[in-house]
Structure 1
Amino acid sequence: MNTRSKATAVLLSSFILASALSACSSNNNNGESASPSPSESSASPSASAPASESASASPSESPAGIDTSKHVTLQFYMLGGEPKDLSVIEKKINEMAEAELNATVKFNFTTWTNWDQKYKLLLSSGQDVDLIFTADWTQYQSYAKSGAFLPLEDLLPKAAPKLQEFVPQDMWDAVKIDGHIYTVPATYKEYVNNGFVYREDLRKKYNLPVPKDIASFEEYLDGIKKNEPGIQPLSMNADVKGNMMDVFREVNDDTVGGPLPYGIGIKYNSPNDVYSYWGSEEQINDLKVIQRWQEKGFFAKNVLNVQDTLQDPITTGKAAAILGDNPTRYNDTKMKMQSTHPDWELGYTPFAETRGFATPVHPIHNGFAVPKSSKNAERALAFYEKMVTDKRYNQLTQYGIEGTHYTVEDGYYKMVGDATSNGFPREGMQGWAWRNPEFMLFDKSYDGVKAIFDQLDKVAKPDLFTGFAEDYSSYQAERAALEQVEKQYFYPLYAGLVKNVEEGVQTAMDKAKKAGLEKVQEAYKTQWLAYTSEKGIQ
């Protein structure tokens, strides 16, 4: 689900990122940063300084350019659920922040239930928010273009000069919207393309096929259903658009970048051919497969009420597979699963084996912005600088307390206890955006992720499209109406709950057209073609 002067800088940055990934076999900073690469840290454990040093690391200097005389409380918003020991971590962070910035912070989480609606409300209600996660899949580009965030280029030199220097200039350029910087991009480079996740031990036990495409994945699910009646073959939850439909489309074709809105279809290899996926034979055929999976009992009939993450049922043995997940999260799931069930195995097959290509992340993929409603923009950036560049803040919020939540053995991260007893697992705050390659700790199993990245490097293509920023100001009402139509009429189709797919699609399309679908799709197409023309993308 990516970070999106705006012209050739974005395109050149995409090529630079792809080249860097191909050259280094994993995620690393480009030559403009002095930080060692994560691949070096994991390949040579000694390259990662032991976490014990973080306790003795000298405090970074307080920013000299801002007024810290008045105490403030910063509201920091992250997506997903909060770890059990969040209050312990927050207390320790605030002990440092109060002494160094005369500020305390409240870490807030949306949960994964209807996170998109909650996110929209946070940015539209004028609520007190000082820092908020951004990504291509949270529509950073559109929110930035509509004025939801404060521009940062004038604030950074004053409030966070070390952070400004730390992020390579090509990344700052890549996240610009209409010439302005609205988010602080993560410098950790990775692939977040999806792949099939499945219980490899069960696959071996019942001699099932390795999932490599939809047909072999369905055969695997059939085998689980037949041989393991107590296990749900497929882990799925209420986000059937993001976790079922969007991922299903990624397996089957060469769609560009992240999920496209309003039922639009665009292929990577023919980016100027913009069509309506909604209502097409392509969509109907996809939905019939999903309906068949529902009828076979691969996932719950009440899926639209299921609020679990996709990963939890895998780690607890309640489900056997995920339709798609990225390599890093697959590794985290495997690590948690094997902490309680070391005899279980988890397998992974990148979609690139079927699609024929993968794209490294764009800088827009993970970031943090200061909403326009913030009353403490300078202090917020100064605090975020510490989250990224100060080892004490960074490792505490990424891994917890050394000795309590993790240990470092031979340079590798090791969880204390297991996934059920540990109160702050690795990256327990979903802190993807403030990863610092210099401070990152990897579980030994991350070597397997490196191997996947090596594999994807061989078929890498640059992300040419994430820099596109939609301006929906002229069709905001129709856009909102289409969101409601999708949830009411398309979601049941995505969940396989509509018996007659053709009739269901026709009904949904009728409602969508009345809501303004054709106007919205045409306006989006016009903007898209202007973007590809500007960038010289054929």
Structure 2
Amino acid sequence: MLKKVLKKSLAFIVTGTLLMSTLVGCGAKSDTPSTDSGSDAKNEAKSDKPVDLVWWTIGNEPKDYQLVSEKINEYTLEKLNVNLQIKYASWGEYSTKLSKIVQSGEPFDIAFTSGIENYQDLLNKGYFADLTELLPTATPDLYKFIPEELWTGVTIDGKILGVPAYKDSAQAQYWVWDKETVEKFGIDYENIESLEQLEPALQKMKEADPSKYPLILNANEGINGFFPAINQYDEIVVKPAVGISYTDESATVVGLWEQERVLENLKLINSWFKKGYINPDAATLLELPKSRPVSSVQSFEGGWKDTEVGHKYFGPAYSTRTIQGSFLSISAGCKNPEAALKVIELVNTDEYFRNLLAFGIEGTHYEKTGENTIKKLNDKYEVPAYSQGTFFNMYVQEPNPSTQWDDLQDLQETAFSSPVLGFTFNSTSVQNQISACANIEAKYSSSLITGSANPEELLPQMIKELNAAGYQDIIAEAQKQVDEFLANK
């Protein structure tokens, strides 16, 4: 049985060679991907010199990259007459390294754009190819497969500048609990929807063991999803925090630090810090422990360890930012953008190729345990699959349920959208104000979001400094751009 997503989205678009590749990936008798011997055009194309493409992606190069690369190129040569070189830059260096590569003019073809420093400015400045006209003609299967909302999220000034990964693209936020903790304290975790409802569980855990801290936070994020999920704002500018309420159809841009609901939530978190629910070093802690009693996580059903349980308290919600959390772009200097786009199409519509990229070689790196379930055999091929393309033609890793990706797609289909979905802020005219305000915010935010300082004392001081540095200029410019964006929709 093909996965539900293939039934829903691919059954009517995958024909010819793509159908053959899908059958191979789903367990057809042949172990070798088939060719379409009836296509004269394809045979002629195969006699041409292969197209060489470079794809930059995030993460450390897998131990068995060369082995998997041989299989990848066997397939891309057969299907597309393409030699594909995947280049990796480590988690710590990708952001700045790729920004330099893009701006230097160093040749490349495809890049994981979401991980590039200031990628929105690079998109605005024309460093990446406009795919608007090419997508429906060169890769119609890809164009039909990805929902309209996602294309909207990567459209800037009327130009589609990337290919979004169709996965948990709409943000859903969960309270994720250690299963043993839930059982020990009888926590009714499925009915905890807000910060206020979380407090009785924290109190119960603290009273049972005063030496421990039930809510472990760090300086970088405090409670994950604080502005979008807990306060329900679409952050159209992240640093400094500026946004629009998900429920505000008038699309009024506000400074998030100035909002009453934000202050009330910061006061509650501060009260927890005073009661000892939060670790004392939260404002300076950078690395979180691998296991925590409870945490807020952007995820999906089964997107946590088997020793944990979770419950959704927000979303799913589409915003430009959530969609741009994972997308690929093609260099404006790419000599064969059609070939590059066809590689991306293959990732998203061909089950065999998708799982080869995500998991490596069957029998070497994983084994099938069911029709669409696998068990990893080793760590010789570890890659961030979310940066490559869709989840909806991927195998499911045990012990997750075989319906994991079907369930996720069903969840995504219930998503609501930000009133400014598709809006991308152009910071050029207020770049100095943004830099100054971001530095001010950095001085105060860790203490505020971890509850380490009293927000009624610290927040007014931060807002005073932000306004002196141009916070209101940023808000006004964002409102101007939002109004223009909505007028042109």
Give the TM-score, by structure 2 length. 0.76
After superposition, the Cα gap between the structure-2 partners of 1:301 and 1:216, relative to the gap in structure 1 and judged at 3 Å, is same
- The structure number with the bigger radius of gyration is 2
| CA shift for structure 1 position 90 | 3.7
| Residue number in structure 2 paired with 1:508 | 462
Alpha-carbon distance between aligned partners in 2 of 1:326 and 1:303, rounded to the nearest angstrom: 25
| Residue number in structure 2 paired with 1:333 | 304
Structure 2 residue corresponding to 1:106, chosen from 76, 86, 99:
86
| Residue number in structure 2 paired with 1:351 | 313
- 1:298 and 2:269 are equivalent in the alignment: no
Residues 176 and 182, structure 1, Cα contact 8 Å, conserved in 2: yes
Render the CA deviation track for 1:174-224: whole Å, top value 9, x for unaligned.
343223221123455765311111123321212234232212323334444
Alpha-carbon distance between aligned partners in 2 of 1:66 and 1:145, rounded to the nearest angstrom: 37
Alpha-carbon distance between aligned partners in 1 of 2:403 and 2:147, rounded to the nearest angstrom: 29
Render the CA deviation track for 1:438-466: whole Å, top value 9, x for unaligned.
55546552546756776786x75345432
| CA shift for structure 1 position 85 | 4.8
Residues 274 and 525, structure 1, Cα contact 8 Å, conserved in 2: yes
Alignment of 1:129-528 (within 5 A): 129-134=108-113, 143-153=122-132, 160-161=138-139, 167=145, 170=148, 174=152, 175-188=154-167, 191-210=170-189, 211-225=192-206, 227=208, 233-234=214-215, 236-237=217-218, 239-240=220-221, 244=222, 247-256=225-234, 262-272=240-250, 273-294=252-273, 296=276, 298-299=278-279, 301=281, 304=284, 306-307=286-287, 313=290, 318-327=291-300, 331-334=302-305, 338=306, 344=307, 346-352=308-314, 358-359=316-317, 366-372=326-332, 377=337, 379-417=339-377, 422-424=379-381, 428-431=383-386, 433-435=388-390, 437-438=392-393, 440-441=395-396, 443=398, 444-445=400-401, 447=403, 460-497=415-452, 499-528=453-482
After superposition, the Cα gap between the structure-2 partners of 1:131 and 1:217, relative to the gap in structure 1 and judged at 3 Å, is farther
Alpha-carbon distance between aligned partners in 2 of 1:378 and 1:67, rounded to the nearest angstrom: 18
Number of residues paired by the alignment?
Answer: 466
Alpha-carbon distance between aligned partners in 1 of 2:319 and 2:402, rounded to the nearest angstrom: 18
Q: What is the one-letter code of the residue matched to 2:227?
A: R
SS in structure 2 of the partner of residue 359 of structure 1: strand
Alpha-carbon distance between aligned partners in 2 of 1:483 and 1:122, rounded to the nearest angstrom: 25
Q: Specify every segment of 5 or more residues in structure 2 that has no aligned partner in the other structure, as ranges.
A: 15-21
| CA shift for structure 1 position 492 | 3.9
SS in structure 2 of the partner of residue 301 of structure 1: coil
| CA shift for structure 1 position 519 | 1.1
Alpha-carbon distance between aligned partners in 2 of 1:489 and 1:394, rounded to the nearest angstrom: 44
Residues 397 and 429, structure 1, Cα contact 8 Å, conserved in 2: no
| Residue number in structure 2 paired with 1:15 | none
Alpha-carbon distance between aligned partners in 1 of 2:394 and 2:29, rounded to the nearest angstrom: 11
SS in structure 1 of the partner of residue 111 of structure 2: strand
Deviates more, 1:180-189 or 1:80-89: 80-89
Residues 48 and 440, structure 1, Cα contact 8 Å, conserved in 2: no
SS in structure 1 of the partner of residue 176 of structure 2: strand
Higher relative contact order (CA 8 A, sep 6+): 1
Which structure has the highest strand share of the two?
A: 2
Alpha-carbon distance between aligned partners in 2 of 1:351 and 1:358, rounded to the nearest angstrom: 9
Alpha-carbon distance between aligned partners in 2 of 1:68 and 1:485, rounded to the nearest angstrom: 57
Alpha-carbon distance between aligned partners in 2 of 1:130 and 1:195, rounded to the nearest angstrom: 36
| CA shift for structure 1 position 169 | 8.4
Render the CA deviation track for 1:90-148: whole Å, top value 9, x for unaligned.
4532455577645341332452x597666655655555543223469998766533424
Alpha-carbon distance between aligned partners in 1 of 2:247 and 2:258, rounded to the nearest angstrom: 22
Alpha-carbon distance between aligned partners in 1 of 2:337 and 2:318, rounded to the nearest angstrom: 31
Alpha-carbon distance between aligned partners in 2 of 1:518 and 1:68, rounded to the nearest angstrom: 58
| Residue number in structure 2 paired with 1:12 | none
Alpha-carbon distance between aligned partners in 2 of 1:431 and 1:194, rounded to the nearest angstrom: 17
Residues 172 and 181, structure 1, Cα contact 8 Å, conserved in 2: no
After superposition, the Cα gap between the structure-2 partners of 1:154 and 1:531, relative to the gap in structure 1 and judged at 3 Å, is closer
Alpha-carbon distance between aligned partners in 1 of 2:172 and 2:147, rounded to the nearest angstrom: 25
| CA shift for structure 1 position 514 | 3.7
Q: Specify every segment of 5 or more residues in structure 1 that has no aligned partner in the other structure, as ranges.
A: 1-25, 37-45, 339-343
Q: What is the one-letter code of the residue matched to 2:255?
A: S
After superposition, the Cα gap between the structure-2 partners of 1:280 and 1:164, relative to the gap in structure 1 and judged at 3 Å, is closer
Render the CA deviation track for 1:297-326: whole Å, top value 9, x for unaligned.
634726655346xxx81xxxx322221222
Alpha-carbon distance between aligned partners in 2 of 1:383 and 1:407, rounded to the nearest angstrom: 25
Give the TM-score, by structure 1 length. 0.70
| Residue number in structure 1 paired with 2:19 | none
| Sequence identity (%) | 19
| CA shift for structure 1 position 523 | 0.4
| CA shift for structure 1 position 475 | 1.8
SS in structure 2 of the partner of residue 278 of structure 1: helix
